[in-house]
């Protein structure tokens, strides 16, 4: 992946997926997620406000999706946010990243080097 994290100009996942997780991640239970930023969805799970219905946009997302974005609670974010990776971040394709990007008209991310010119091996014939 390039030096610039593509998530800083994307944010599509924060405006596409429901971010639900075990209520034990909330501050009142000893976790890090502020209680006032979640809504109860069942007896054991909560969701980030703004992601519990479509169209969604996480309450923690600031900026314009596809341009410049940031997370206002980055250090306090939930496990689904910590675990979600951009495609090719660690050499692995993430189809969910592609789906979120497509919903906002953004192209899928490409593997490192995919857009670099390929030079023929030394000694290979060039047509």
| Locus of tokens 């000893």 | 30
Report d(CA 79, CA 22) in Å as an integer: 9
Q: Answer whether 51's CB lies under 8 Å from 44's CB.
A: no
Half-sphere exposure of 112 (CA within 13 A, CB side): 11
| Tens-binned pLDDT, residue by residue, of the chain (127 aa) | 345 789 999 999 999 999 999 999 999 999 999 999 999 999 999 999 999 999 999 999 999 999 999 999 999 999 999 999 999 998 999 999 999 999 999 999 999 876 655 444 555 454 4
Q: What is the DSSP string of 35-55?
A: GGGEEE-SSSEEEETTSSSSS
Q: Which of 77, 83, 64 is nearest to 11 (CA)?
A: 64
Half-sphere exposure of 62 (CA within 13 A, CB side): 5
Report d(CA 32, CA 72) in Å as an integer: 13
Residues in CB range of 20: below 8 A, 6 or more apart: 41, 45, 46, 47, 48, 51, 52, 80
Global pTM value: 0.83
């Amino acid at each position: 992946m390039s030096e610039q994290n593509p998530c800083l100009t994307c944010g599509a996942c924060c405006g596409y997926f429901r971010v639900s997780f075990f209520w034990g991640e909330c501050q009142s239970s000893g976790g890090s997620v502020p209680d006032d930023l979640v809504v109860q969805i069942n007896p054991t799970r909560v969701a980030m406000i703004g992601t519990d219905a479509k169209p969604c946009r996480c309450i923690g997302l600031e900026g314009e999706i596809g341009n410049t974005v940031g997370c206002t609670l980055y250090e306090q974010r939930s496990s689904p946010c910590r675990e979600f990776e951009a495609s090719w971040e660690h050499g692995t394709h993430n189809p969910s990243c592609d789906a979120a990007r497509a919903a906002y008209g953004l192209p899928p991310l490409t593997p490192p080097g995919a857009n670099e010119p390929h030079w023929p091996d030394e000694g290979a014939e060039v047509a």
